[in-house]
Amino acid sequence: MSRFLRAEQVLLPTGMRAACIEIDHGRIVAIRDYADVPAGAPLLEVPGTHLLPGLVDTHVHINDPGRSDWEGFYTATRAAAAGGVTTLVDMPLNSIPSSTNAEAIACKLRAMEGKAHVDIGICAGLVPENAANAGDLFREGVLAFKCFLADTGVNEFSHVNERELEAGMRSIGRVGAPLFVHAELPGPLLAAAHAQGDVTPEAARRYAAWLDSRPKTAEDEAVALVIRMSELTGARAHIVHLSSASALPLIARAHDAKIALSAETCPHYLTFAAEDIPDGDTAYKCAPPIRERANRERLWQALREGLMHQVVTDHSPATVELKCSQSGDFMRAWGGISSLQLGFAVVQAEGAARGLSFTQVVELMSSKPAELVGLTGKKGSIVVGADADFAFWDPSATWTVDAMQLEHRNKITPYAGRQVLGRVVRTLLRGETIFELNADGLQFARPAGGFLRRRLGAA
């Protein structure tokens, strides 16, 4: 039997308007006028909220199995649900095994069983060992592939060199899947390390030490290489977590030349600035690093101008010990920021201050990431036929980020103490409420998410 949701502000692909959504068997079956609700039919309304499509985050490290003390399916997907994210794509590292062969992917699916609060797609790894036939893993139902061009920080997942990248792109290009690339090159990183010499423990507490070790040139040269390879092989490449704004003109030229290249950035690059990062606060460490204020504003400009189309979290947790939270040593700390629960709230507030409409920000975090991984029509938009995934957004809620209120496993965040305007107050996955914020706090339903297999024929 059909059920109905309605709001005075529903974010449809044509814009915001009052509407009533009819859902049946977990799908959207009709979009009706606001008043068009059959008498006596079950109706869900949350007064004062906007109704958005469930958000889609195509860059998440869950690290389970193998490193579930860093993060796990249960905790990561609770954080996602509380942040309005109903679909996420799990990266091929830092779990053990990493998702680089069929057996490892099967292992991943077993680890997620019964623990996922949201739907999860898998990104398979391109590594030297599987470069020639990486595309074969598409048969396992993965949505995308990922490789690194520089050291990954974990032993089980090696980076590819130029030759392996080309072989991998030819293989992945044949099946039409996107290849996500961590774009930093070893050469410029090595040169920076040489120039820097030994860093004393005291100097390592300064953020500048970390920033100096990861120069923009490492990103810019990597982006140039990926563009060349994409042109050579015809494969679709996607630059993950772009931080260096000086790579943007290269991306613009690739677009002009109709090369199949796209790029994403992350909430932390759009929110923080190197100049403001306190000494010893390793919660801010990630790679590539958060750069200067002026660089940040150019990333925003690229989003406004449509040069980048996705904002995703790169949710990447680690333990307190690995984060070196005690010593504050930026050079030794694990890099990674966890923001599944906060990403949308933070980015929409920052975006509003820079002239991006609410609708634009929602698209950057829902329909555009869905499109990247072949989920258009199923996830990320309120359209007939799509899964009934929604977030109810209260635009007037004001709150302060408290690390202990975050659901991810290790409560480390550079957003602690931040004032935020607007909050997800209820999330639905395939028609069922999976998260609700009420007077008793954050409430979650039993995990009902599952493996989101690539649909046959979808690239």
Minimal distance in Å, beta carbon 225 to Zn ion?
19
- Name which of 10 and 342 has its Cβ closer to Zn ion: 342
Contacts of residues 73-77 at CB distance under 8 Å and 24 or more positions apart, as own/partner, are 73/111, 73/112, 73/115, 73/116, 73/120, 74/115, 74/116, 74/117, 74/447, 75/407, 75/408, 75/409, 76/315, 76/317, 76/340, 76/408, 76/409, 77/115, 77/116, 77/117, 77/118, 77/120, 77/447, 77/449
Residue 341 or 427 having the CB closest to Zn ion: 341
Residue 335 vs 374, nearer CB to Zn ion: 335
57 is an interface residue for Zn ion by CB under 5 A: no
- Of all residues in this chain, which one has the CB nearest to Zn ion in the complex? 314
Q: Which stretch in 8-16, 150-158, 294-302, 309-317 sits in contact with Zn ion by CB under 5 A?
A: 309-317
> Among 289, 90, 63, 70, which Cα is nearest to 156's?
63
- Shortest distance, position 289 Cβ to Zn ion, whole Å: 14
Span near Zn ion by CB under 5 A; candidates 20-28, 32-40, 202-210, 311-319: 311-319
The closest alpha carbon to 268, from 249, 248, 246, 287, belongs to: 287
Q: Check: CB of residue 126 under 8 Å from CB of residue 147.
A: yes
Among residue numbers 104 through 123, which ones bind Zn ion (CB under 5 A)?
Answer: none
Query: Using CB under 5 A, which of the segments 131-139, 307-315, 382-390, 424-432 binds Zn ion?
Result: 307-315
Instruction: Provide the minimum distance between the beta carbon of 153 and Zn ion in the complex, in angstroms, as a whole number.
Output: 11
H/E stretch holding 249 reads helix 248-256
Closest distance to Zn ion from the beta carbon of 67 (Å): 14
Among residues 367, 257, 347, 246, the alpha carbon closest in space to that of 302 is found at 246
Nearer to Zn ion, 314 or 387 (CB): 314
Would you say 314 or 371 has its CB closer to Zn ion? 314
Smallest distance from Zn ion to CB 434, Å = 24
Cβ pair 372, 92 in contact under 8 A: no
**3 state SS of 357:** coil
- By CB under 5 A, name the one of 314, 329, 387, 436 that touches Zn ion: 314
Sequence length of the chain is: 459
Phi then psi for residue 56, to 5 deg, are -125, 120
Distance CA 119, CA 77 (A): 9
The least CB distance from residue 38 to Zn ion, in Å, is 46
Minimum distance of Zn ion from residue 60's CB (angstroms): 8
- Interface region with Zn ion, contact rule CB under 5 A, candidates 10-18, 256-264, 306-314, 436-444: 306-314
Residues of this chain, 193-222, that bind Zn ion according to CB under 5 A: none
Query: CA-CA distance, 91 to 86, in Å (whole number)?
Result: 16
Q: Which is nearer to Zn ion, 206 or 409 (CB)?
A: 409
Q: How far is the CB of 61 from Zn ion (least distance, A)?
A: 6
In three-state secondary structure terms, 446 is: coil
User: 369-388: which residues touch Zn ion (CB under 5 A)?
Assistant: none
Please give the residue ranges that form the binding site for Zn ion (CB under 5 A): 314
